[in-house]
Amino acid sequence: MAAAEQKKSYEVVKNFKGVNTKANRTAIDKDEFSWLENAMPIGYANLKIIPTSSQVFDSGNVAVTFSDIPSFIGSVNIGNSDYVMVFQANGSLEVFNVTTNTKSVVKTAGFFSGSGISLAQWKNERALILDPQKGYFTWDGVNVVAVGSVGLIAVLTGGTGYTSTPLVTLSAPNDANGVQATAVATVTANVVTAITVTNQGSGYTAAPTVTITGGAGSNATAVASIESFATGTIFVNVLTGGAGYTNAANTVVTIAGGGGTNAAGRAIISSGQVQYVLMTNVGSGYTNSSNLTVTITGGGATTNATANATINSTPNVDIASFSGRVWIANARTVNYSAAGSYNDFSTVSSGSITLTDGTLHGNIQSILSANNFLYLFGDDSINVFSDVRVQTNGTTIFTNTNVSASIGSKRPNAVFPYFRSILFMNDYGVYALVGSTTTKISDSLDGIFANIDFSNPVFAGEVLINNVLCAAFNFRYNDTVFTNTQRYIQAVFFDKKWFFTSSQSTLKYITSVPVSGVLSLYGVANPAGIFNLYRLYSDSTSPISSIIQLALDPMGDPIRDKQALKLGVEATSGANTVAFFNATIDSEKGSSPSYSLASNIIWINNSGDQVYWTNTFGAQIGFATSGYNLYKTDAQQWGKYLGSTLKSLTPGFVINGVQYEHELRARF
């Protein structure tokens, strides 16, 4: 008597949930994936292959490339044009106008530092560029200007005979594209008593000369100071004011040593003492405070004043535009401009704050303006500035609240707004900050963090993929499973689900840019040393390598062996696309040989023989069906857990379900 046929069992996976690397492949839900690359789990029976990247061409159909190794990429909107700004390792800046499809060289090699650049935007008028060493610059779409601006102006001699307010003229800025500063005088009892800066100007690398004319008076003189955010500059602090100073014009401030050049100051005298030293040139290149000296001589003093100098040696960290001001972070200090100004850091409503929070264990790592707050990130803390307002005396106040005392990030380019939350990545997870609550959203990615190469930067941004707004984090990953190489991949998040993307070229840097109302990601890649500009997720017709690795499923009975019999894949392709797969049946024991799945049509004649077709060139051609197909194959594999791995180069298709046929075998 023939043995009874084993009962066949079936399993169907359609409720696609996203990737889960936290647990072993045998321990995740049957609707999750142990790896999901270039396939987006949009919803039930809708696992859609994503578009690949496309190289960007300019209006003349020439590929957009850059002259040197990129070190930072960002985007801004000026007027009605969106720009991708690419800073390079040789200190140059090149930009691509996404609106007009034109590329231009803004600054050549050596102008900026080769790394550490940060970028923000002032209204829709100009880009704000912060160089870690060389200071603060703006770009209005045409000219880059150093924001060295005029600070205080001190009256040295009040002059005589002024019956009306004289005209105050400040000399032009050192940068030809800068803005000339303006000031007005105050006259009391026929002498000039004060000069107030009304426009700080920009492009000053040294203090301007101050000329006072008119008003029917004469002999009033004044000196101006200069403000700069460059490192290697110095400021003089008066320790003792001395005594007996009668002649300010003959008082000499000498600054020596320190390894730098050009620093100069003017002693401001009142009541026979030096009150402070006004910096007429903050100098450059100062690094050594041990041999930096300041001496004050002359002026008829009976006792000389004493002073020392402080070197600004801490690199600039980050820049943001918030509440009608510019905010610049340096170490634990944040400087903020005056209300309504991007370049005034000296008048009464400007200022600075140094964080003394015990929760900020190091320096500020990044600042971000979003959702009517200014977020300040430390390694393991987050503060929020809000409610910025000017008091009746002209000074500015705001609230400073710590919202996270244990979680932060030192990855400044992986912090960005997403809907009404702030997403950020650190070296152990991805988090969402909503209001004052920080929540980890990357539990399902825990298995990959040990393989991320954090010696390379992490960049992130928002992007529409398949008409869904997603958050994408770009990093270098040590792939020990599929390629045995280090490669750049993107971890993409939406609707509480994660998946990975690749084949977007070797993109080290990415940035979000709106293109015709579609939020896109642009990136720079360097295959064979050519630095090309790419637009991610924009090409839905070119081949893309997808990897779909499903869970190992106990099929309802984890202690019983199963014999795999068949594998089926439901997929829908476009009108002119036919999907092809290579598939394996997997178990905890290993994987089967690879099976090829395709929707080929085989022609059979009346004798049962296959008919082959050739074209006019004698080449054999085949037929296949697009649209919905059930791809199926016999399969051989056994184990207590069964799953599958699907690989394809076909673009633009959708997997609607995965089906297994198996027979139950012995327990234990």
Closest CA to 339 of 396, 391, 385, 392: 396
Closest CA to 629 of 564, 594, 581: 581
Full 3-state SS string of 137-196 = EEECCCCEEECCEEEEEEEEECCECCCCCCEEEECCCCCCCCECCEEEEEEECCEEEEEE
Q: Are 424 and 414 in contact (CB under 8 A)?
A: yes
At 51-75, the pLDDT tens digits run 999 999 999 999 999 999 999 999 9
At 309-320, the pLDDT tens digits run 999 999 999 999
- Per-residue CA distances from 354 to 331, 361, 377, 455, 464 (Å): 9, 13, 14, 29, 39
- Per-residue CA distances from 306 to 10, 294, 484, 548 (Å): 90, 8, 65, 73
Gap between the Cα atoms of 253 and 259, Å rounded: 18
Gap between the Cα atoms of 108 and 306, Å rounded: 43
pTM: predicted TM-score of the whole model, two decimal places? 0.91
Closest CA to 645 of 535, 537, 569: 569
Out of 2-11, 57-66, 239-248, 559-568, least confident range? 2-11
End-to-end CA distance of the chain: 28
- 196 forms beta bridges with 184
CB neighbour list of residue 164: distance below 8 Å, 6 or more residues apart = 187, 214, 215, 216
Q: What is the DSSP string of 499-532?
A: EEE--S-SEEEEEEEEETTEEEEEEEE-GGG-EE
Q: Where are the beta strands (DSSP E) in 391-494?
A: 396-404, 415-418, 421-426, 429-434, 437-440, 459-465, 468-479, 485-494
Q: Are 66 and 86 in contact (CB under 8 A)?
A: yes
Predicted local confidence at residue 571, as pLDDT: 94
At 457-480, the pLDDT tens digits run 999 999 999 999 999 999 999 999
CA 326 to chain CA centroid, nearest Å: 18
Predicted local confidence at residue 600, as pLDDT: 64
For tokens 């609550």, name the residue.
437
At 503-524, the pLDDT tens digits run 766 889 999 999 888 899 999 9
CB neighbour list of residue 48: distance below 8 Å, 6 or more residues apart = 39, 40, 42, 466, 653, 654, 655
Closest CA to 175 of 213, 210, 223, 136: 136
Predicted local confidence at residue 257, as pLDDT: 96
- Mean pLDDT along residues 6-27: 94
At 590-631, the pLDDT tens digits run 999 999 988 766 667 788 776 766 778 777 665 566 688 899
Residue 443's φ and ψ, nearest 5 degrees, are -55, -40
Mean pLDDT of the chain: 93
Question: Residue 498 pLDDT > 90, yes or no?
Answer: yes
Find the largest Cα–Cα distance for the chain.
131
Q: What would the two tokens of residue 140 be? A: 């209005």
Predicted local confidence at residue 624, as pLDDT: 61
Question: Residue 435 pLDDT > 80, yes or no?
Answer: yes
Predicted local confidence at residue 504, as pLDDT: 61
Counts of helices then strands in the chain (DSSP H, E): 0, 60
- Mean pLDDT along residues 129-154: 94
What proportion of the chain, given as a percentage, has pLDDT over 70?
96
- Mean pLDDT along residues 62-89: 96
Gap between the Cα atoms of 520 and 337, Å rounded: 32
- Per-residue CA distances from 268 to 149, 155, 189, 208, 311 (Å): 20, 8, 21, 17, 21
Predicted local confidence at residue 102, as pLDDT: 97
Closest CA to 237 of 294, 303, 171, 170: 294
Q: How confident is the model at residue 496 (pLDDT cuts 50, 70, 90)?
A: very high
At 525-552, the pLDDT tens digits run 876 678 999 999 999 999 999 999 999 9
